[in-house]
Chain A
Amino acid sequence: MSLGASGQAHALEARGISVRFGGSRALDGVDLVLRRGEIGGLIGPNGAGKTTLFNVVTGLCQPSSGSVFLDGCEITSWTPHRRARAGMTRTFQRLELFARMTVQENLLAAREASVRWAVFGRKMRDSQREVSEVMEMLGLAPLAARIAGDLPTGQGRLVELGRALCSSPKVILLDEPSSGLDSAETSRLGAILVEAVANQRGEMSALLVEHDMSLVMELCDSITVLDAGKRIAHGSPAEVRANPAVVAAYLGTEGGSSPLAGSTGMRAALGGER
C-alpha cells in the first residue's frame, strides 16, 4: 500500500486492473490513484475504458486481475452496496435516474440508502434538511416535485450529482457530468464541485471523467489518461498537456469518421488556445 505525502492512505487506489469482454481487452493493467481531498481527472478518447474502470472501482464489474483500495482498505471483492456504505458513490454516463420518482424523492432515497436509520425521528429531519440544502445548492429546488424521468438530460445529470452528494460520500465518481449542459451550466457545475469538495476539508475526493478539456484542466489537481485500455499518462494538468503520447492519442482519433464529442475542446486545450 503506497501512502500519500501526509502518511495517510490514498482515498482511492486501483492497481493493475484488467478487464476482458469476450476477446477484447477493455482494460489492461491500469493503475489509478486519487489522493485525499483532490479532484482527479480521468480522460481518454471514446472507448478508452473510462466507464469500465468506474464500473470496476464501484463493484459493478469484476476485474480479471488487479485490486482496488478505498482508504487503504482492499475492497476488490466487496459488493457495490458495501462500497457505497463505505463512502463511495458515482453518477452514470447513461443516466440511471429513478425515473418515475420526483427529484426530491430521488435525493431522499439516496440519503436513506446511505445513512442507517435515516427514516426515524431526528435523523429523518436531518435527511430532509440535507436534501433541501443540496437541492438549493444545485438549483434543483424549483424542480423538486417534477418526475425525474421527464427532465432533459442536463437537469437529469444534476439530479444524479445531487443524489451522489446526498449520500455523504468520501469518494465521488462522476462520469461525464457536463455532457448535455451548455457552457454556462458547465462552469457552474465546476464551481459547485469545487465548493462541495472544499467544504468537506479533505474528507471528500472526486474523480471526473470528462470530454470537456477546459473543465478538466481547470478543475483537476491530477489527471490520468487512458487510451485503448492502457494508462498512457498521469500527472498534473500541465504535465499531461505537454505529454506527446496524449497529444498523439487524441489527434490520432481525429482522422476517424465519427467526430469526437469534446475533441475540439481537447485540441483547443492541447493547442493552448485557452
Chain B
Amino acid sequence: MGVLWPFLVIGIFAGSIYGLAAMGVVLTYKTAGVFNFAYGAVAMFCAFTYWQLHDAWHLTAWLALPLLLGVVAPLIGLAFERLFRSLVGTSAEIQIVVSLGILAVFQSAAPILYGGQTRSLQNLFPLSTFELGSRLHVGYDQLATVIVSLALGTGLWLLLRRTRFGLATRAVVDNRDLAAMIGVNANAVSRLSWVVSSVFAALVGVLLSPSQGLNVYVLVVVVIYSFAPAVLGRLRSLPLAYAGALILGVVQSVLSRWGSSGAVSDIEASIPYLALFVLLIVLGRRLEESGSALRPLARASATGPDALDRSEAARTDPRRSRQRWRFFPSQLGIGAAGLLAAGLVLPVFMNGPHLVDVSSGLVYASIALTLVILTGWAGQISLAQFSFVGVGAFTVGHLAGAHGSNFLLAAIIGALIAVPLGILVGLPSLRLSGLYLALATMAFALLMDNLVFVRTSVSGGYTGMAVARPRLFGVSFASTTRFYELALAVFAVFALLAFIARRGAIGRRLQMLRDSPVAASTLGVNLTATKLAVFAVCGAMASFAGALYGAGHQTVSPSNFAFSASLELLLLVVLGGRSLVSGALIAGGLYAVQLLAIPASIERYIPLTIALGVVNMAQNPEGTVAVVRQQVREIMSVLKPMERAVERREPPRALSRESHPGRMPRLAAGVGGAGGGLGTRGNAGS
C-alpha cells in the first residue's frame, strides 16, 4: 500500500484540476442551459495567451496572471454569453453544433495567433517538494493547486448557496420568463456564470499545461475527462461533480502504477470516456428529466426545428415543394446530369495528385451522406461516425489482400462488423436525445480511439496499415482515373439510394423521429427499433465507404479516425447542409479543397473560415445550399421580366391563398382570414 501514496497525491492533484473544469462546465449548464463543448478549447486558448504574455513578452507572472484571469478570460466568457443568449429557445441540436463550432474556431485560431508548435509552459507555483510523513514527497505546486481548486470550488458553492446570485440562478433555471417578472435579471445571472466558468477554464489551462504540454489538441482532450464527473452530478450538482473528478483522478493515477504503456495505459486513458458512456446509459431517463426542468416546454423543440428553421422553410416557394410529388424529381435529374458531366470532364483537365484529392472528396461525400441521414433526417446527432469509417478501412486492410482481390468481400464484412457497433452506439439514443446523445457518441468515438484502434493488431499501430486499391470482378481500380471513377460511382449509388429513400416511406419515418418522437410513438412507430436500425444502417454504410477511404489514402493509421475526424465531419456536414444530399457533396468538396495544394499563407485560414461558417450556419439545416439557392433565386428574380418579378415579391403565404380563391374551402379560408391572430403558436392553456 505504501507504494501507492505518491500515486494518490498525483491523483488528487489531477482530480482537483478536472474538478475545476467539471464545475465550470456544470455552472453554465445550470444557469444558461448550455453545455460548453468548447470548454477545453477555452482552456487551451487561455494557456496559449498566458504563454504569449509570460514567456514571449516576458511579463512577470504577477502581471500576466491578473491580465489573463481578469481581462482575457472574462471577455471570452462575455462573448460566449452574447452568442448563446441569441440562441435561447433554439433546439439542443443547434446549441451543440454552435459550441462544437466554437471549439473548432479556438482550435484553428490559436495556431494563427500563437504559432502552431507545442509550447512548454512554466509552472505557476514553485516545484520544490516537502515531506509528508515518512518518504512521501509532495510538490508545493501540487499542494497549491489542490488548495486553489478547493477554495474556488467552495467559494462558488457558497456563492450559489448563500447569495442572491444563487437564488436568482435557481429562479432562472426554473423559468426564465417568470424570473424576469419577479425582478431577476436573467442576463446578469448568466453573464456572471459565463465569466466565472471561463476564468475557471483559464486556470485549468494554466495549471494543466506544464504537465501535459501546450498544444492545440491535448488540453481539449484532457478537459473531456471532466465531462464524466459533470454528468455524475447530473450537470447540476457542483459537489458531486467535484467529488467525481477527484475519484477519477485518483483511479487513473493509481492505475498508472501498473504501467505507462500497453493495455493498462490504454485503459487508464479510456476510463474517463468509459465512465461517461456508462453513466449516460445508467442515469438515462433521470438525466433527461432534470434537463427538462430547464426548458419545461422544450420536449418537442429539443429535437424538432426551431423558429428560425421554420422561417427559412417559409421562404421556400410553395410551388417548389409541390414538385416533391413528381415521380422523377427535377433535382435528381440535375444532380445526376451534373455528376455524370463532372465524371467525364474532370479527368481530362485534372491529373495525378489533384484527381486523387477529388476522389478522396467523393469518398468523403459518401461518408458525409451517412451523417446526413442519421443527423439531418433522423435527428440523431453522432460524433462517432468516423469510428465506423475506421472499422471499414482496417477491415479491408486486413482482409483485402495485397492486390485488393478480396476487396468487395472485405468491405461487406466491414459493413457487417459495423452493424452491432452501430446498435451499441444507438443504445444510448433509446433513452437519451440531444445533448446526452451527443456526449454518448463522443465517448464512444474516444473509446474506439483509445481502446481499439490503438492496438497494433487492429491497426498496425501509429505507423498505420497499407490498404490496397480494389480489384473488382477482375477489373483493377489501382490507377488514379479508375479509382476516381469508382469513388464517383459509389457516391452516385449512395446518393440515389438516399434520394429515393428520402422521398418515400423510409424518409418520412426518419423525419417523424426527428420532428416529434412523441407523436411518432403515439401513431405506432416503434422508436426503439427505428433508432437502432438507423444507427446500424448508417454505421454499415459509413464502414463500407470507409473501405474506399482506406483504398484512397492507401495507408491508414488510428489518427485518421480519431474523435477529431468525426467532429470535422459533423462540422463540414452542417456547413454544407445537414438535411440535403447536396449538403454531403459540399462537405466532400470542402474536404477536397483542404487537401488540394494551396499556398501555405492561405491554407491556415481555411479551418478558421470553416469553423466560423459553422457557427454562422448552425441554425440552417440546409447550410450553404440554402444560401446559394437564395442567391440564385434573388439573381433570377432580378433577371425576370417586369410583371413576373413583381409577382415574386409577394410573400408565399399570400400567393398560395390568393391564387385559388375559388377552391378554398370555408374552413381553411376562415383560418386564413383570421391568420394574423392565429399566427402565434402555443396559446392559452398551454
Contacts and interface: CB of A to CB of B under 8 A. Distances in A.
Contacts of B2: none
A63 to B, nearest CB: 16
A153 B682 contact: yes
A143, A176, A180: most-surrounded residue (chain B CB, <10 A)? A180
A61 B513 CA distance: 19
A112 B509 contact: yes
Nearest to A92: B519
Contact of A142 (B505, B522, B660, B670): B660
B504 A154 contact: no
Interface string B668-686: 1011001100111111111
B322 A181 contact: no
Interface residues of B, number: 58
A100 B313 contact: yes
A97 B515 contact: yes
A180 B667 CA distance: 13
Nearest to A156: B681
Given A94-B682, A149-B309, A153-B682, A110 B523 contact: yes
B450 interface: no
Nearest to A104: B325
B134 interface: no
Interface stretch (A10-18, A83-91, A216-224, A248-256): A83-91
Contacts of A119: 504-505
Contact of A102 (B305, B321, B666, B680): B321
Given A167-B524, A184-B670, A185-B667, A96 B681 contact: no
A201 interface: no
Interface string A169-211: 0000000100111101100110000000000000000000001
A67 B309 CA distance: 41
B656 to A, nearest CB: 7
Interface stretch (A27-35, A133-141, A234-242): A133-141
Interface string A120-146: 000000000000000000111111111
Given A80-B521, A85-B524, A142 B668 contact: yes
Contacts of A189: 667
Interface in B310-339: 310, 313-314, 316, 318, 321-322, 324-325
A89 to B, nearest CB: 6
Contacts of A102: 321, 324
Contact of A153 (B310, B524, B683): B683
B421 to A, nearest CB: 26
Contact of B668 (A88, A114, A139, A147): A139
B683 A179 contact: yes
A98 B310 contact: no
A117 B602 CA distance: 55
Given A84-B524, A99-B304, A185-B670, A152 B678 contact: yes
A171 B508 CA distance: 24
Contacts of A99: 304-305, 309-310, 515-516
A109 B656 contact: no
Nearest to B506: A119
B519 A142 contact: no
A243 interface: no
A84 B523 contact: yes
B679 A152 contact: yes
A60 B668 contact: no
A60 B309 contact: no
Nearest to A46: B685
B681 A139 contact: no
B616 interface: no
B240 to A, nearest CB: 20
Interface in B11-43: none
Contacts of A153: 678-683
A155 B668 contact: yes
A145 B668 contact: no
Contacts of B522: 58-60, 80-81, 83-84, 88-90
Contacts of B664: 142
A184 B321 CA distance: 30
Given A58-B522, A84-B524, A179-B683, A152 B509 contact: no
B456 interface: no
A101 interface: yes
B321, B511, B523, B656: most-surrounded residue (chain A CB, <10 A)? B523
B309, B321, B524, B656: most-surrounded residue (chain A CB, <10 A)? B524
B518 interface: yes
Contacts of B504: 119
A188 B520 CA distance: 27
Contacts of A142: 656, 660, 663-665, 668
Contacts of A112: 505, 508-509
A68 to B, nearest CB: 14
A93 B684 CA distance: 10
A150 B317 CA distance: 12
B656 A155 contact: no
A81 B671 contact: no
B297 interface: yes
Nearest to B310: A149
A79 interface: yes
A50 B122 CA distance: 64
Contact of B665 (A58, A141, A145, A154): A141
Contacts of A58: 522
Contacts of A155: 668, 671, 678
A95 interface: yes
B671 A181 contact: yes
A80 B521 CA distance: 6
A179 B685 contact: yes
A261 B684 contact: yes
A18 B151 CA distance: 47
Contact of A100 (B515, B666, B684, B686): B515
A42 interface: no
A113 interface: yes
A138 B667 contact: yes
B656 A146 contact: yes
Contacts of A262: 684-685
Given A109-B512, A152-B681, 19 more contacts: A59-B521, A79-B526, A84-B521, A85-B524, A94-B297, A96-B518, A99-B309, A100-B304, A100-B309, A100-B515, A113-B512, A113-B523, A139-B668, A150-B310, A152-B675, A152-B678, A152-B680, A153-B683, A262-B685
Which A-B residue pairs are the 9 nearest by beta carbons?
Answer: A261-B684, A139-B665, A84-B524, A152-B678, A96-B519, A139-B667, A109-B508, A145-B322, A98-B515
8 contacts: A58-B522, A84-B522, A100-B621, A112-B508, A113-B523, A147-B316, A182-B670, A261-B685
Interface of A: 46, 58-60, 79-81, 83-85, 88-90, 92-102, 104-105, 108-110, 112-114, 118-119, 138-147, 149-150, 152-156, 158, 160, 163-164, 167, 176, 179-182, 184-185, 188-189, 211, 261-262
